[in-house]
Amino acid sequence: MDKEEIFELVVSWLTLSVAFAWNLNPVTFFYSLPFYLLAVGTAFVFHELAHRFVANKFGYPARFVMWKEGLIFAVLLAILTNGRFVFAAPGAVYIFGHPRERENAYISLAGPATNLLLSYLFFFLALLLQYPHQLFYLLLSLAKVNAFIGFFNMMPIFPLDGAKVLPWNPFIYFLVLLAFTPFFLF
């Protein structure tokens, strides 16, 4: 990773965190900002890095590219709705080369699979704590945020990950969706 890519990833992470934490009440905003820094850090940053890592493993150079307009839109929408709605389109990992369909599907699956693993990890760590412990609620929230980001990215709408996975293997596509379901039943 070069300095520019790290800068763009950090700016995207911080901007999304502010958008999700946005509230006209400054006390609420500053109280929730650390949570969103952690949640967006695990859900968004690890998701994007997973895409990059798998692309590199297949021999394709890849890098995260920030989409400034998407970040501005996320913040403006958060301000206009007082934090009730955020549509995040911070950027994406660009792959240089032409991966075959299978490789592209694996690269696309890497992000949601990372979110899925983090969701289950946070969920089981929460179960190890005694209820009601504040860390219990934090871990459950992190599990839900990761599940939401992963599930959302599995929608079969281009350029989301699901649009590359479903045509390659519908069985795996629906299996991944099914693995996310427990987080939406609670």
In sequence order, the 6+-apart residues with CB closer than 8 A to the CB of 166 are: 156, 173
User: What secondary structure does DSSP assign to 105-174, as a single string?
Assistant: HHHHHHHHHHHHHHHHHHHHHHHHSPSS-HHHHHHHHHHHHHHHHHHHHTSSSTTSTHHHHTTT-HHHHH
Active site residue 69: no
Q: Which of 4, 8, 48, 103 is catalytic?
A: 48
What residues act catalytically?
48
